[in-house]
Amino acid sequence: FQYLAEFMGVTEDDLKAVHAAAGVVAPLVPGLVDAVYDQLFGYDCTKRHFVPRQHGYEGEVPESIETLTQDHEMIKFRKQHLARYLETLVTKPYDEKMIQYLDLVGKIHTPKAGSKELNVPLVQMNALMGFVSHALVSTILGLNLDRETEVKTLAAFNKLLWLQNDLITRHYQAS
């Protein structure tokens, strides 16, 4: 992480820009979460990963992909996790604990952590990260920030998402 952050030129100003966006981005998180789940549910190949029991969820699991809706309690549980992740990105300090959390976000989508039944293919994780990136960029562009702040904020989130992507893909490499 440290090498990649240094190589990409992640600075304290970048992290400040991410945190400065918290006040305007955090209230938009529910809409971002809904957009992500609308996208995930638009494709059977991504929706199918929500049928097996999710790690930490104790309630009833869906019977099948056909009966699974976004109103299911397990999907509400998953949406809460995504909302917490997005809020964490803009509110928590970028220290060792955060790096471990971002690393776990990648690992939990494989059988290496969480549910042994969950193994989201890397291509789907990359597609998701691309979608989230576009959604964040669109959100930031819609905030009517002054140009300098907008550029700094976009650059900071771009770097952050590349770091997250690296912490995802490393769990797909052969040991």
pLDDT recorded at residue 33: 96
Q: What is the mean pLDDT of residues 16-41?
A: 95
What tens digit of pLDDT does each residue of 45-79 get? 999 999 988 888 899 999 999 999 999 999 999 99
Q: In terms of residue numbers, what domain contains 29?
A: 2-172
Cβ-based neighbours of 142, under 8 Å, separated by 6 or more = none
pLDDT recorded at residue 116: 78
Paired tokens of 62: 């869906």
Torsion of CA 40, 171, 10, 86, to 10 degrees: 30
**Percentage of the residues of the chain whose pLDDT score is greater than 90:** 85
Q: What is the mean pLDDT of residues 120-132?
A: 94
Q: How many domains does the chain have?
A: 1
Paired tokens of 113: 């952590």
pLDDT recorded at residue 175: 55
For residues 90 and 21, the answer to whether their CB atoms sit within 8 Å is yes
pTM for this one?
0.88
Give the number of other Cβ atoms within 10 Å of residue 61's Cβ: 14
Say whether pLDDT at 139 is over 70. yes
What tens digit of pLDDT does each residue of 141-162 get? 999 999 999 999 999 999 999 9
Paired tokens of 70: 């976004």
What CATH code is carried by the domain that includes residue 48?
A: 1.10.490.10
